[in-house]
């Protein structure tokens, strides 16, 4: 049985608008003006702590308080405008029907990840969900990937996959010894990291992993 691990933001979901809203609500809570969506999106991918530090650099003395406030603001708005990318539900359904083990491995905090998966109707497809805080380290460390596999009773090997839009996903996959699919449709950055294959929509993933889209 093969395993496919998926990043969340920029891979399964387009969450840019809600993340930007939450950051700007947090900035407003501390008397700071809003940033553009693009400015906030450039800070996403390495966990909520670094999101706050990069998106609200003006007040480092308040970062701990801002982090706590960001969790509240984001949980209140995480499903306002967040949507699945085209083909995500169909891809997950098809892979599960073919016997694949599926998991989400994200740097987004676990308590914020699970409500999103449930709200968008895709939590049922995953045998494991590992978010920020569920593992002592974040991607690009491979430990969260290994944790997800272990929770499903699997051992990762070169026939398994990590799909993501950011260097954190691809580096973690490389270090875990799995194939890496770069999701070009997302909003992450490569930062020089490599990948095995790339797709322009999630609809292409099933054919890729079955060897038909290479």
Measured CA angle at 17 (ends 15, 21), to 5 deg: 115
Helices (H), the chain: 16-29, 37-41, 48-55, 63-77, 88-97, 110-119, 143-151, 167-176, 205-209
Q: How far apart are CA 196 and CA 162, in angstroms?
A: 10
At 146, give phi and psi (nearest 5°).
-65, -35
Q: Is 186 helix (H, G, I), strand (E, B) or coil?
A: coil
What is the C-alpha separation between 45 and 189, in angstroms, rounded? 9
CB 117, CB 126: distance < 8 Å: yes
Does the annotation mark 7 as catalytic? yes
Angle between the N-to-C axes of helices 63-77 and 110-119, in degrees from 0 to 180, rounded to the nearest 10: 10
Measure the CA–CA gap between 195 and 47, rounded to whole angstroms: 21
Catalytic residues: 7
């Amino acid at each position: 049985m093969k395993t496919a691990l998926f990043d969340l933001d920029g891979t399964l979901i387009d969450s840019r608008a809600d993340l930007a809203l939450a950051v700007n609500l947090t900035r407003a809570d501390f008397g700071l003006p809003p940033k553009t969506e693009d400015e906030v999106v450039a800070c996403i991918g390495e966990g909520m702590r670094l999101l706050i530090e990069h998106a609200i650099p003006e007040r480092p003395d308040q970062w701990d308080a801002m982090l706590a406030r960001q969790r509240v603001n984001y949980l209140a708005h995480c499903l306002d405008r967040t949507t699945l990318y085209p083909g995500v539900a169909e891809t997950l359904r098809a892979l599960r029907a073919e016997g694949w083990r599926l998991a989400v491995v994200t740097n987004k905090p676990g308590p914020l990840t699970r409500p999103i998966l449930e709200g968008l109707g895709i939590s049922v497809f995953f045998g494991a969900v590992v978010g920020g805080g569920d593992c002592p380290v974040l991607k690009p460390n491979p430990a969260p990937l290994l944790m997800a596999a272990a929770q499903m009773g699997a051992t990762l090997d070169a026939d398994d996959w990590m799909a993501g839009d950011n260097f954190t996903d691809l580096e973690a996959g490389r270090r875990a010894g799995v194939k890496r699919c770069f999701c070009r449709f997302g909003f992450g950055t490569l930062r020089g990291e490599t990948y095995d294959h790339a797709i322009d929509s999630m609809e292409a993933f099933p054919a890729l992993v079955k060897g038909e889209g290479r």
